[in-house]
Amino acid sequence: MNFQLVQSARKGGGARPRRGVWLMKGAPPEQKTSSAAPPLRLVVVLVVVVWISLLYYQFPMLAGGGGAPLVTVGRSDSADDPCRGRYIYVHDLPPRFNADILRDCRKTKDHWPDMCGFVGNAGLGRPLADPLDRVFTGENGWYGTHQFALDAIFHNRMKQYGCLTNKSSLADAVFVPFYAGFDFVRYHWGYDNATKDAASVDLTQWLMRRPEWKRAGGRDHFLVAGRTGWDFRRSTNIDPNWGTNLLVMPGGREMSVLVLESSLVHEREYSVPYPTYFHPRSDAEVRRWQDRVRGLERRWLMAFVGAPRPDNPKNIRERIMAQCESTDGCAQLGCALGTSQCHSPYKIMRLFQTATFCLQPPGDSYTRRSVFDSMVAGCIPVFFHGMSAYLQYKWYLPEDHAKYSVFITEEDVRTGNLSIEAALREIPPERVERMREEVIRLIPTVLYADPRSKLETVRDAFDIAVEGIIGKVAGDRRGGAAAVDHIDTTSATDNHNLSPWQGLGSRRRK
């Protein structure tokens, strides 16, 4: 069953399970063997630590001068250095790998809606105006953000990161600001493989020639590819025309990657939230929003925003929409093909903030941007597939998913055996209240703050991603045991014979 998860491919593509399994099994040799020799590793770590401390003593400016703009690192306080273990070196890529791609946003016009409206304001898109009630406005931190704009947003957030260093030797991780998602879009429709891969080949060649690559063979590098993982693994997709081969080619496969939806069968592929429309500039703005959402009156039991998938008989959206239609407790936006209501941030957010539960069935892929929009509105998500969130956003969402969400199986919806409305009404009001409070607590962690300013103490999705990736990269570099741990919690190896939620069960006991 689980491999229905890979086989019923989405957003066009879809991995071949065998290939995925093979890739897992073919894990790099040192990850399998080095766990057998902890003492040796310890010695190596000690030597490195001593050596680095020596460096600090000899060349204090190595750490201070080169690095973090906000932090002074000296020999006396290197132990209390708040950036210790968190330094990031950002590759200074030629503009053809990022800025030029955005400048050519109009080039995609024949094949994709003009992206130019989405790349401004540090990747946030155009500020919203909200003529109706002035809630969702640019002044309040709301933008018409594209779901696939994370490449740019993340890069701009990184420029504000407090522990940057330009001494790559001191970096705990190396960030590669390549706009892989935008690169996908510009050549996806109507171009041949070579054109689709040109920038990826160019980039990986560039990286592998750099001295920074040598230290760990690229294992300490990471990039953001703000789409699903499937979109960058053409040669393992069922559809041989889908996507670039960035994450399959040499130089690409060594790096870690942050994606919006992980295939879960590949190492070093981690999921982060889709961008929402809300990009606050201060802690106060976040708190104000949380308070507002907490106090809202929710007149709908449940809501759904999305289009049916008539071409996919297994998709349950049609059934969800029919159930919604048949009750007074449910509201939905008309998203039949050709209407644009579903793309109006105002309409979407206004609906979500007046509903208690938001239905989040899979669409083209398992995950949805809508999940995060609805959570920002304080609406409790209802999931129908383990891949839609529980197996994906482990850095972000509580392991105990009953704390903030409801799970209903697709099968129950398909057979028509279960009334979603009845199932939701059965949940006692105190429990609903607690779940909503948890969703509201999670709001800051699932949004990306405005990259042009800085939250003070609140941690957003970027902060959590950076912490997560540094942990993984450092684990990888320490070698064996850590790397094996890492495979255990992120790969789908332990899922191969399980349905996603059974896998989840065994995972959660861990």
Ligand X SMILES: *[C@@H]1O[C@H](CO)[C@@H](O)[C@H](O)[C@H]1NC(C)=O
Q: Which is nearer to ligand X, 147 or 228 (CB)?
A: 228
Alpha helices in 174-308 (DSSP H): 180-188, 193-209, 211-216, 283-294
Q: Considering only residues 84-113, where is the footprint of ligand X by CB under 6 A?
A: none
Q: Which is nearer to ligand X, 67 or 503 (CB)?
A: 67
Amino acid identity for residue 320 in this structure: I
Q: Residue 136: name the closest of 410, 348, 435 by CA.
A: 348
Our finding on whether 245 is near ligand X (CB under 6 A) is yes
Let me know if 202 is exposed, middle or buried by CB neighbors in 10 A (0-12, 13-18, 19+): middle
C-alpha dist (Å) from residue 215 to 154, 209, 247, 313: 25, 12, 20, 49
Closest CB to ligand X: residue number: 240
Q: Calculate the dihedral angle through the C-alpha atoms of 26, 30, 36, 41, rounding to the nearest 10 degrees.
A: -160
Q: Which is nearer to ligand X, 341 or 409 (CB)?
A: 409
Q: Residue 309: name the closest of 1, 12, 4, 2 by CA.
A: 12
Instruction: Judge whether 480 and 30 are in contact, CB under 8 Å.
Output: yes
Place of tokens 């200074």: 92
Q: Considering only residues 417-456, where is the footprint of ligand X by CB under 6 A?
A: 417
Minimum Å distance from CB 197 to ligand X? 8
Interface segment toward ligand X; rule CB under 6 A; list 31-39, 53-61, 234-242, 386-394: 234-242
Q: Which is nearer to ligand X, 19 or 96 (CB)?
A: 19
Running DSSP on this structure, what letter comes out for residue 352? H
Minimum Å distance from CB 502 to ligand X? 17
Judged by CB under 6 A, the number of residues near ligand X is 12
Residue 202's contacts (CB-CB under 8 Å, 6 or more residues apart) are 96, 97
Minimum Å distance from CB 131 to ligand X? 42
Pick one of 38, 69, 310, 505: the residue that binds ligand X (CB under 6 A).
69
Q: Residue 404: name the closest of 381, 428, 429, 376 by CA.
A: 381
Interface segment toward ligand X; rule CB under 6 A; list 32-40, 174-182, 411-419, 437-445: 411-419
Q: Which is nearer to ligand X, 138 or 162 (CB)?
A: 162
The contact mask relative to ligand X for 29-68 (x = CB under 6 A, - = no) is -------------------------------------x--
**Calpha distance 14→8 (Å, rounded):** 7
Amino acid identity for residue 259 in this structure: V
**Calpha distance 405→381 (Å, rounded):** 5
Q: How many CB atoms lie within 10 A of CB 3?
A: 19
Phi (first) and psi of residue 442, to 5 degrees: -80, -15
Structure tokens at 239: 């559809």
Minimum Å distance from CB 23 to ligand X? 15
Place of tokens 């750490």: 63
Running DSSP on this structure, what letter comes out for residue 84? T
Pick one of 33, 53, 235, 489: the residue that binds ligand X (CB under 6 A).
235
Minimum Å distance from CB 232 to ligand X? 11
For the beta sheet containing 221-224, the strands, ordered from the edge strand earlier in sequence to the opposite edge, are 88-90, 173-175, 221-224, 256-259, 269-271
Q: Residue 370: name the closest of 389, 398, 395, 394 by CA.
A: 389
Our finding on whether 193 is near ligand X (CB under 6 A) is yes
Our finding on whether 240 is near ligand X (CB under 6 A) is yes
**Calpha distance 55→355 (Å, rounded):** 58
Minimum Å distance from CB 268 to ligand X? 20
Minimum Å distance from CB 20 to ligand X? 15
Interface segment toward ligand X; rule CB under 6 A; list 35-43, 412-420, 422-430, 487-495: 412-420
Q: Which is nearer to ligand X, 69 or 217 (CB)?
A: 69
**Calpha distance 339→328 (Å, rounded):** 23
Q: Which is nearer to ligand X, 17 or 66 (CB)?
A: 66
Q: How many CB atoms lie within 10 A of CB 430?
A: 8
Our finding on whether 72 is near ligand X (CB under 6 A) is no
Minimum Å distance from CB 417 to ligand X? 4
Our finding on whether 489 is near ligand X (CB under 6 A) is no
Place of tokens 């160019």: 202
Our finding on whether 195 is near ligand X (CB under 6 A) is no
Q: Which is nearer to ligand X, 33 or 326 (CB)?
A: 326
Interface segment toward ligand X; rule CB under 6 A; list 99-107, 300-308, 349-357, 413-421: 413-421
Minimum Å distance from CB 245 to ligand X? 6
Phi (first) and psi of residue 422, to 5 degrees: -60, -40
The contact mask relative to ligand X for 132-171 (x = CB under 6 A, - = no) is --------------------------------x-x-----
Our finding on whether 82 is near ligand X (CB under 6 A) is no
Interface segment toward ligand X; rule CB under 6 A; list 200-208, 232-240, 336-344, 402-410: 232-240
Minimum Å distance from CB 164 to ligand X? 5
Q: Which is nearer to ligand X, 61 or 402 (CB)?
A: 61
**Calpha distance 159→480 (Å, rounded):** 32
Q: How many CB atoms lie within 10 A of CB 350?
A: 17
Minimum Å distance from CB 413 to ligand X? 11
Which positions touch ligand X (CB under 6 A)? 66, 69, 164, 166, 193, 234-235, 240, 245, 415-417
